[in-house]
Amino acid sequence: MSDQGAAILIDIYSDVVCPWCYVGKRRLERALRQAGDAVRGNVRWRPFQLNPTMPTQGMDRKVYLETKFGSLTVFNEMEQRLLEAGREEQIAFAFDKIARTPNTLLAHRVIWYAAVQGHQDTVVEQLFKGYFEEGLDIGSSSVLIELAERAGLNAAAFLESGEGLVEVKAEEAVGRKLGIRGVPYFVFDEAYGISGAQPVDVLIATIEKTRSQRQV
């Protein structure tokens, strides 16, 4: 007997400084809408730090890009592809507003806390928007508190505690055991994994495959 009516569990390993993760979020949302009213997605955002050794205070954006890509020219070429993808997904990337590349551990803790409080997807949306469209420093506690408030979450007391750190590191470890080396990485019903901000039709095909293979 199939269980196709239940919500599809979708784990997304992501970092909030990853522009393709923002694009991937939009494409998944479109895929779920286009897959039909019978399809419901239970999305869980999982932590993946692209720069786990980033200093706590972050670093100058241009210095980071030159170190990572060898030159700004290489990034500028990728930036053009991202701007085009962003326009297709109604994302107003404003890379020129970003002054610093942050350490994202605090942001991942807030995302974990948002899940506990039932605000995860809206908080993730605000973090992406704040960083990529407004150039806000999402490594800053005060900025994270402001962005969480936009999503209806009070995170001030939480960020003053050490809560969530052990859980975030444990979730990161699960991703490493899965062999994830880059994000976004989507896992459907803990069975089918897809790497990258795939086109909507690929995501729809995976959703349909997941539904068809369900057994109870």
- Rounded to whole angstroms, the Cα distance separating 82 from 74 reads 13
Structure tokens at 64: 């980071």
Per-residue pLDDT reduced to its tens digit, 66-79: 998 888 888 888 89
Per-residue pLDDT reduced to its tens digit, 161-172: 999 999 999 999
Set out the domains of the chain in order of their start, with CATH numbers: 8-212 (3.40.30.10)
Per-residue pLDDT reduced to its tens digit, 96-127: 999 999 999 999 999 999 999 999 999 999 99
Structure tokens at 49: 């730090």
pTM of the predicted structure, to 2 decimals:
0.93
- Give 88's contacts (C-beta < 8 A, 6+ positions apart): none
Reported as a pLDDT band with limits 50, 70 and 90, residue 38 is low
